[in-house]
Amino acid sequence: MSEKVALFVDGLNLHYATKALDFSIDFRRLLAEFGARGVLVRAFYYTIIAEEFETTRPLIDWLEYNGFTVRTTPVKEFDDVQGRRKYKRNIGVELAVNALEIAKYVDHIVLFSGDGDFRRLVEAIQRVGPRVTVVSSMRTKPPMVADELRRQADTFIELHDLKAAIGRTKEERRNQRDEFS
């Protein structure tokens, strides 16, 4: 019997990790890679929407049409105590709620994020039953994965080790720009 798998992608975190590792993700290959490891029940992709990030719209549209459940959150602007303009870009609560909701229906959750704030989420999911794999990087300088998150996960996958399976070549990256333009 194949295990039921759900993917949770922290889009901004994954973007910065792959950028630091000098490759980009082929999301079709990512789905195929993890679909081969079990029955892929759902693949969620979380990102923020802001005018300065409007270049992500083609990617979001592509993901929505190709098997991902995309969750977007608008950026909230505010002034800090010194009067400086700040932006709140947090998608963590929605990701956590969705992960806990699906946890009782799957055997394995794969979290693409290195954000240490997700350590308690991983712990809560494990109490429900599923195994949790965290995909991020320790090879970046500084490491993209928080030590406490890596230690809490049942399995840690170094993102760089997936490059051959889910990465795009330089030629494919050029074609990707054309595809999303």
**DSSP secondary structure code for residue 7 in this structure:** E
From CA 137, how far away is CA 18, in angstroms rounded? 9
Q: Hey, which CATH number is domain 4-180, 3.30.470.10, 3.40.50.1010, 3.40.50.300, 3.90.226.10?
A: 3.40.50.1010
Residue ranges covered by each domain of the chain = 4-180
From CA 166, how far away is CA 24, in angstroms rounded? 8
CA distances from 12 to 26, 34, 118 (A): 15, 20, 14
Where does the pLDDT of residue 181 fall: very low under 50, low under 70, confident under 90, or very high at 90 and above? Answer: very low
Beta bridge partners of 24: 168
pLDDT for 129-165, tens place per residue? 999 999 999 999 999 999 999 999 999 999 999 999 9
pLDDT for 74-104, tens place per residue? 777 777 788 876 666 678 899 999 999 999 9
Fill in the amino acid letter for 29. R
pLDDT for 65-74, tens place per residue? 999 999 988 7
